[in-house]
């Protein structure tokens, strides 16, 4: 057996494992900055979507929620129309999951949510002071047998 076959990923209680990361889907509502601070207090950060697989995972995990969006760790607060993740990495042009006509380009819409649209969840920019749920992300603990 290879070492990979003897590896388990562990997430904190209440978090969901996917690949080598853990995700927390909140039920309470906070603005974007408070959401990031809450994620950081839980040893994580607002989710950084790095692949279509990860986006699909997030869509599937939030598909039963029809009552609003979830903050993700993407913003253009520092430079209008230049979206960066909470780790200061620029948005990858190959991994963008905007809904049609998004980002809107409105000056007051600087933070991004995953939002339900026609059975899919796609990205929408919103005013950062809007309250919404959040998706936090952290690295999974790896255990080797």
pLDDT for res 119: 58
Supply 131's token pair.
Answer: 């309250």
**In this structure, which long-range contacts are made by residues 87-92, counting pairs with CB atoms below 8 Å and at least 24 apart in sequence?**
87/45, 87/48, 89/48, 92/50
Strand partners, 44: none
Distance CA 98, CA 115 (A): 10
* DSSP one-letter code for 105: -
pLDDT for res 6: 56
Global pTM value: 0.88
Strand partners, 142: 9
pLDDT for res 65: 57
Bridging pattern class, strands 70-75 and 133-139:
parallel
Distance CA 95, CA 12 (A): 27
Domain boundaries along the sequence of the chain: 26-134
pLDDT for res 101: 82
Supply 44's token pair.
Answer: 């994580």
Burial class of residue 55 in the structure, from the number of CB atoms within 10 Å of its CB (0-12 exposed, 13-18 middle, 19+ buried): buried
pLDDT for res 35: 98
Residues 6+ apart with CB under 8 A from 67: none
The CATH number of the structural domain formed by 26-134 is 3.10.100.10
Distance CA 10, CA 19 (A): 11
Q: For the chain, which residues score pLDDT lower than 50?
A: 1-4
pLDDT digits (tens, 9 = 90+) for 19-53: 999 999 999 999 999 999 999 999 999 999 999 99
pLDDT for res 3: 43
pLDDT for res 142: 73
pLDDT for res 1: 37
pLDDT for res 106: 85
Distance CA 122, CA 142 (A): 31
């Amino acid at each position: 057996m290879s070492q990979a076959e003897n590896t388990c990923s562990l997430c904190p209680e209440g978090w969901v494992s996917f690949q080598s990361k853990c995700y927390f889907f909140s039920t309470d509502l906070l603005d974007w900055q408070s959401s990031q601070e809450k994620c950081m207090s839980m040893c994580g950060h607002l989710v950084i979507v790095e692949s279509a697989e990860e986006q699909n995972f997030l869509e599937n995990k939030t598909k039963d929620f029809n009552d609003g969006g979830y903050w993700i760790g993407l913003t253009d607060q520092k430079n209008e129309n230049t979206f960066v993740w909470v780790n200061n990495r620029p948005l990858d042009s190959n991994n963008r999951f905007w809904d049609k006509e998004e980002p809107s380009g409105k000056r007051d819409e600087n933070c991004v949510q995953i939002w339900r649209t026609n059975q899919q969840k796609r990205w929408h920019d919103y005013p950062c002071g809007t309250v919404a749920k959040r998706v936090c992300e952290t690295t999974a603990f790896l255990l080797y047998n």
